[in-house]
Amino acid sequence: MTRIAIAGAAGRMGRNLVVALDEADDLELAQALEREDSPALGFDSGVLAGINPNGIMVEDRLDAEAFDILIDFTHPIATEHHVDFCVANARKMVIGTTGCGARLEAKLAASGGQTAIVYAPNMSVGVNLCLELLQVTASVLGDSVDIEVIEAHHRHKVDAPSGTALKMGQVIADTLGRDLTKCAVYGRQGQTGARDRMTIGFETIRAGDIVGEHTVLFAADGERIEITHKASDRMTFARGAIRACRWIARQPNGLYTMRDVLKLR
């Protein structure tokens, strides 16, 4: 039985991960982690997740002897600390944290030489299929279309654009041979002038309890193609993370993505 620790176990994603692990018969929850000032410390993680008590109390310290894989959907600062811990103790990781930035992503790449990590800004099977569709669409349409990425999330999300939107933009930019850091346009206001076809636009919506919606628009004169993914339940991401845990448990050291997990490349 593979033992799983969950960082941020009392949060929105953490509670869904606890439920997803409860559904699994080949994985078991071994630790439920929260920050040291969390009011959830000492509470049963199953009760917090709305299921039966599981006897795994929320605590604030990782125990390297207690788990095999850590699932982390927290914050870049916390994730960096957890990466250091897992590398030092030869423990594997499944990371869904967004807004990591170039420095932490570089650290993850280096850490792949010392442990096995699945890192993906979105664990949804559907989103990762969309990434494949985006690559195909961009390669066929080339520079003949205007490209816009529109994303919407709940009011509590703190990073924008979403990690998934940025990943979609990166896949398209790589396919077209563009540098996303130079061609991305984040929102528009005022007298912007005519649109530059070589740019990739990003628009962000934050409202209500939207779980996650992403649309990529490929617009030409006379026709357009829209590739859309809408998530209505966070269990979509939790079950994807569980699938990643099953896969990474059998893998050697390396930095992987959900496209590796789903055998899309």
Question: Are 9 and 48 in contact, with CB atoms under 8 Å apart?
Answer: yes
Catalytic residue, from 75, 82, 92, 153: name it: 153
Q: Is 153 annotated as catalytic?
A: yes
Provide the residue count of the chain.
265
Q: Is 214 annotated as catalytic?
A: no
Cα gap 244→139, rounded to integer Å: 28
- Known catalytic residues are 153, 157
